[in-house]
Each structure stands twice: as structure tokens, then as C-alpha cells.
């Protein structure tokens, strides 16, 4: 297919093969942008009824827009080839990141949160993904998660069809997988919900189960249910209790265990009912991990946490509130009494102090950013020019850029005016360029072992 043109898409390069088809990188020549084009296996769309339902589902899914969902641009059929065109995502799949050990706990929770947040958007429209798995989530180089293949799994979803319990029961008799199903069944079963595995009706909370498996896998590096054959795996999903995450990986916050367990309940009604509820808990967990707070918090710490929250959530924090109260009292005083020059002077000085505090807010947040990011040992230098923070590293790892993205996001939310911050992670600078950058203004951090050539 490479070099060919389908509709107005020039096919450039093979990206990968999955259970449902082959994915290519292509160029949309009309809009002049790269896209990912997935050509579906013909046997999946042979049944006209199924194909019609697939087009319907894709149309519904294309209406869901969220930064964590790879947008569907087009579905069509040309020369007997049914294909789906979607946003091209530059990055690695979560399964690659797990295999390369590029994720840490915060990174895993951040990705799960972003995906749950995107999925919640689809769930609001009553759209179930049906095929959440670590191969269908990619992470871009700037730390954003993207959920792929929305609307596709409907093709697999017929009772008694691929991967369903009745198929599996048939397999116990035949002992072999039907040719066309092999790849899909093998690849996908590990993330199925018990109701999917048993060929029963599925619901929004089936996606919650599958995302729970991805979270488990990201945190521990292992799948919770695995058997020697797809059939054994399905059996485990339907009946076996999962080994608690906190046993597979020690020293995890208890909240991680609680969230994963709630996702992986066998009975759909015992899980989070949709991804929105899961996203809310993951957001809370993210904050807990970042502040190093445990679930049972002593009162003293709770007060501190509250003050910390006030400091960051309310414009200019506690000092802001105190400042505003003082200004209001002073103004009242000035209005209702005879103004004395010393009071007026005091007010001006106070105003200047407040202004200075506001002006330096961004710098303080950048300082905090540098303190946190420089803890990663692969970080060689951090440079700020205008509103761009460039983090130079030995090797860009997902856990780092996911963390950077999340820090920048939270800083930008707290910047009430001025230009928002951006970040770039670079691991491609030549020694010469690196030395040049170090000599330019704006260097905020340099690792001790990095030598500056004279």
C-alpha cells in the first residue's frame, strides 16, 4: 500500500499491524496534515449489517472531542477497502513504555487520569470504547495521553463473535482458534471485562474494568489476569481474584490499591459506574502522591494541607486574602475618616508590595518547577527563555515528560494573567549546541557533573 493513494490520503509509511487491520501514516493532501489510516481486515466488514453499524458507531465517536482522545477524521470504503482515518499521534504506546520501564507511579496515575478524563467525555454521550488496552493508548513527547481506536471495537462485538464467552466455549471443543480471530483474541482478551469475556451485555463500567487493568499493568509492570492460553486468561478474568497491586509492588499508597480494586470488581455494579467517577478519584490520588500525603491524615497535617491548598488555589493565596482585607479596611478607614498623609503613604507602600508580590509569582512558580524537575537524575540543565522552559536531558523518558507536562499545566492554571508557560524536553542537542545554550542567559539549573567548557 505504501506509495498508493486512497481517496485524498497519500500512504507514506507502515506504523503497525493489529488484530483488526494495518495502520499507515498518510498525508491528507487536502488539509495538508499527517494522519493515521487504518485499513480494516476485509473479513471484519464482510457482513453489510456489521459494516453499517461500524459506520454508525464511528460517526458517533467522531463527535467526541477531548485532548486525550485521538480524533476520528473520516471513515470510508474505496475499492473494497474499509478504512478509518484518525489523528496521527507521535509518541509511544503505553505497552512500549511499560516494556521500556519508562513509567513511574506519578506517570502511571497521570496517564490513567488523562485517559479516564477523556473516556468520561465519551461516557457522557453513552459511547463505550470496548477495547481499552495499553496498545490503544499512546503518550506524546510532551506528556499527553491519547486514546486510540474509538468506535472500532463494535466490529468485534457480536454475541457469540470474537472473544466472547460462547466463542471460548466453542474453543474448548475445537481446541484451536479460528484463523482470523487468533491475533485479536490473543491480543485483546487480557483487558476484557468479565461480562465481555462471558459474552454478556456490556456497559460504561466495562471500560472502567479495562482501564483498571491498564492502571494495574502500568503500576506493577504485570497483567493482573494471565493464563497459558486465551481461554485460561478469560477464565481468570471471569472467576479469579486478582493479586493485590500492593503485594506485587510494595510501598504503594493504599489509595492506589483501593482504586484498582474498585475498577476490577467482577460485578459491574460494584465498580465506578463510569470513567468520570474514576477520573475524580485519580485526580485526588495524583494530588496525594504529589504532596506525599497518605489517606489517613492527622489533623495538624490536614490544616497544613488546607493552607497549602488556599495558597495555590485562591489568587495570591493566604497572603492575597490578608492583603485584600487590609486594603479594604484601609480604604474604609480613608473614606470614613479625615485622610492623613501618613496613612495615604502607607497605603501606597502596601500597594507597591502587593504589586511586587504579584509580579514575582511566576518566578516563584518557575523556581518550584526547577526544584522538582532537577530531582530527576537524567536532567542536565533547565533553561528559561521568554515563557519557554527547556529541559535538557541525557535521554527523554516518559515519566519525566509526563511529570513536566503535569507541572506546567498546574502552574498555568494558577497564573491569572501574563503569558502561560510552555516546556520542551530535549535529548538531541550536540555537545557544541549544549555548550552554547549553557552560555546564553536564562540558565536556571545545571547538573553538577556537567562541565562548562571555557
Report in angstroms how near the CB of residue 72 gets to ligand ATP at its nearest.
10
Which triple of cell numbers denotes residue 359? 509580579
- If one asks whether residue 188 binds ligand ATP (CB under 6 A), the answer comes out as yes
Residue 214 in contact with Mg ion, rule: CB under 5 A: no
Q: What phi, psi does 78 have (nearest 5°)?
A: -140, 135
Asked if residue 136 binds Mg ion (CB under 5 A), the reply is yes
Catalytic residue among 28, 104, 117, 131: 131
Residues 2-21 that bind ligand ATP (CB under 6 A): 15-21
Q: Residues 299, 133: contact at Cβ < 8 Å?
A: no
Q: Which of residues 146-165 bind ligand ATP (CB under 6 A)?
A: 148-149
Choose, by CB under 6 A, the member of 27, 82, 136, 196 that binds ligand ATP.
136
255 binds Mg ion per the rule CB under 5 A: no
36 is a contact residue toward ligand ATP (CB under 6 A): yes
Question: Would you count residue 88 as binding Mg ion (CB under 5 A)?
Answer: no
Burial 155-183 (b: 16+ CB within 10 A, else e): bbbeeeebbbbebbeebeeeeebeeebee
Dihedral angle computed from the Cα positions of residues 305, 108, 67 and 39, in that order, rounded to the nearest 10 degrees: -170
187 binds ligand ATP (CB under 6 A): yes
Residues 6+ away with beta carbon under 8 Å from 353 = none
- Residue 86 lies near ligand ATP (rule: CB under 6 A): yes
* Binder of residue 19, out of Mg ion, ligand ATP, none (CB less than 5 to 8 A by kind): ligand ATP
Least Å from the CB of residue 58 to Mg ion? 14
| Piece of 82-90, 113-121, 165-173, 252-260 that binds ligand ATP (CB under 6 A) | 82-90
Which of the listed partners (ligand ATP, Mg ion, none) does 226 bind, with a CB threshold of 5 to 8 Å by partner kind?
Answer: none
150 sits near Mg ion (criterion: CB under 5 A): no
Least Å from the CB of residue 143 to ligand ATP? 16
- Residue of this chain nearest to ligand ATP (CB atom): 18
Dihedral angle sign, alpha carbons of residues 369, 374, 377, 383: positive
- 149 is an interface residue for Mg ion by CB under 5 A: yes
User: Which region, judged by CB under 5 A, interacts with Mg ion, from 136-144, 286-294, 313-321, 413-421?
Assistant: 136-144
Q: Whole-number minimum distance, CB 260 to ligand ATP, in Å? A: 22
Pairing outcome for strands 145-147 and 379-385: unpaired
Contact 264, 216 (CB under 8 A): yes
Contact in structure between 97 and 146 (CB atoms under 8 Å)? no
In the bound state with ligand ATP, the residue whose beta carbon lies nearer, of 36 and 109, is: 36
- Report the residue number, 75 or 259, with the smaller CB distance to ligand ATP: 75
Q: Which residue has the cell 479469579?
A: 240
Query: Of 152, 37, 155, which is closest to residue 89 (Cα–Cα)?
Result: 37
Residue 54 or residue 88: which is nearer to ligand ATP going by CB? 88
Binding-site partner at residue 274 among Mg ion, ligand ATP, none, CB < 5 to 8 Å by type? none
Closest CA to 275 of 378, 132, 63, 88: 132
**H, E, C per residue of 66-102:** CCCECCEEEEEEECCEEEEEEECCCEEEHHHHHHCCC
Q: Cβ(20)–Cβ(41) under 8 Å? A: yes
Q: Is 232 a catalytic residue?
A: no
Nearer to Mg ion, 13 or 419 (CB): 13
Contact predicate 217/134, CB 8 Å? yes
For the CB of residue 171, give the shortest distance to ligand ATP in the complex, in Å: 19
| Distance (Å, whole) CA 295 – CA 254 | 7
What are the residue numbers of the active site? 131
The residues that touch ligand ATP, with contacts defined as CB under 6 A, are: 15-21, 23, 36, 70, 86-89, 93, 131, 135-136, 148-149, 187-188
Which residues of the shown chain bind Mg ion in the complex (CB under 5 A)?
A: 18, 136, 149
Amino acid at each position: 500500500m505504501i506509495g498508493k493513494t486512497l481517496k485524498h490520503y497519500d500512504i507514506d509509511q507502515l506504523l503497525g499491524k493489529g488484530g483488526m487491520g494495518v495502520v499507515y501514516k498518510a498525508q491528507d493532501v487536502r488539509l495538508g496534515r499527517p494522519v493515521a489510516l487504518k485499513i480494516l481486515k476485509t473479513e471484519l466488514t464482510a457482513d453489510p449489517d456489521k459494516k453499517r453499524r461500524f459506520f454508525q458507531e464511528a460517526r458517533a465517536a467522531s463527535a467526541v472531542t477531548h485532548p486525550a482522545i485521538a480524533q476520528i477524521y473520516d471513515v470510508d470504503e474505496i475499492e473494497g477497502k474499509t478504512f478509518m482515518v484518525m489523528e496521527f499521534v507521535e509518541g509511544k504506546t503505553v505497552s512500549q513504555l511499560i516494556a521500556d520501564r519508562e513509567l513511574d507511579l506519578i506517570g502511571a496515575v497521570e496517564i490513567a487520569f488523562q485517559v479516564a478524563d477523556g473516556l468520561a467525555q465519551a461516557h457522557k454521550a453513552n459511547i463505550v470504547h470496548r477495547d481499552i488496552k495499553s496498545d490503544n493508548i499512546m503518550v506524546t513527547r510532551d506528556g499527553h495521553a491519547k486514546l486510540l481506536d474509538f468506535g472500532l471495537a463494535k466490529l468485534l462485538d457480536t454475541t457469540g463473535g470474537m472473544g466472547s464467552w460462547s466463542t471460548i466455549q466453542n474453543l474448548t471443543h475445537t481446541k484451536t482458534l479460528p484463523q482470523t480471530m487468533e491475533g485479536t483474541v490473543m491480543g485483546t482478551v487480557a483487558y476484557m471485562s468479565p461480562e465481555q469475556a462471558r459474552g454478556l451485555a456490556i456497559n460504561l463500567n466495562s471500560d472502567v474494568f479495562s482501564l483498571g487493568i491498564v492502571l494495574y499493568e502500568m503500576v506493577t509492570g504485570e497483567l493482573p489476569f494471565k493464563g497459558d492460553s486465551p481461554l485460561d486468561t478469560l477464565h481468570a478474568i471471569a472467576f479469579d481474584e486478582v493479586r493485590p497491586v500492593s503485594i506485587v509492588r510494595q510501598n504503594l499508597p493504599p489509595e492506589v490499591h483501593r482504586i484498582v480494586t474498585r475498577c476490577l470488581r467482577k460485578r459491574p455494579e460494584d465498580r465506578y459506574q463510569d470513567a468520570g467517577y474514576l477520573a475524580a478519584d485519580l485526580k485526588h490520588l495524583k494530588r496525594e502522591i504529589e504532596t506525599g500525603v497518605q489517606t489517613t491524615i492527622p489533623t495538624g497535617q490536614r490544616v497544613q494541607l488546607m493552607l497549602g491548598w488556599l495558597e495555590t488555589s485562591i489568587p495570591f493565596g493566604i497572603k492575597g486574602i490578608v492583603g485584600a482585607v487590609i486594603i479594604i479596611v484601609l480604604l474604609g478607614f480613608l473614606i470614613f475618616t479625615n485622610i492623613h498623609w501618613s496613612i495615604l503613604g502607607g497605603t501606597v507602600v502596601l500597594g507597591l508590595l502587593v504589586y511586587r508580590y504579584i509580579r514575582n509569582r511566576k518566578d516563584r512558580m518557575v523556581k518550584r518547577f526547577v526544584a522538582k524537575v532537577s530531582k530527576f537524575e537524567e536532567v542536565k540543565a533547565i533553561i528559561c527563555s521568554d515563557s519557554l522552559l527547556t529541559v535538557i536531558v541525557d535521554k527523554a523518558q516518559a515519566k519525566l515528560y509526563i511529570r513536566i507536562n503535569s507541572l506546567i499545566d498546574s502552574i498555568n492554571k494558577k497564573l491569572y494573567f501574563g503569558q502561560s508557560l510552555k516546556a520542551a524536553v530535549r535529548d538531541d542537542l550536540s555537545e557544541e549546541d549544549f555548550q552554547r545554550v549553557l552560555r546564553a542567559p536564562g540558565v536556571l539549573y545545571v547538573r553538577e557533573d556537567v562541565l562548562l567548557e571555557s
